[in-house]
Amino acid sequence: MNGHTFRAFPPLMLVMSGSEKYRLVKSVGDAAEALFASWPFDDGEEYLVAVKTCLEALHGKTAAADARAALIRAAEEAGIPVITVVH
């Protein structure tokens, strides 16, 4: 597994529908897992950008911060509230 998989970024909480209402995302790996396993639809423009950006971050081709920003834009597109986690 690539070392960038768990590259941390400032954590955030996605407020999802379904059985897993709150999803903590604190790394590129968490972001990718949320996009692939929990996303309500897979055809939005920002969703596709987020998937691409997360895959690039997992392979060390872009920064974790870029993946986080793309995830937030995809969440806004999908109507998923995002809570910034303060630690």
Cβ atoms 39, 78 nearer than 8 A: yes
The domain tally of the chain equals: 1
How high does pLDDT run on average in the chain?
88
- Structural domain boundaries, residue 42: 3-84
The residue type of 3 is: G
Largest CA distance in the chain: 34
pLDDT at 22 over 80: yes
Instruction: Provide the pLDDT confidence category of residue 7 given band limits of 50, 70 and 90.
Output: low
Cβ atoms 73, 1 nearer than 8 A: no
pTM: 0.87
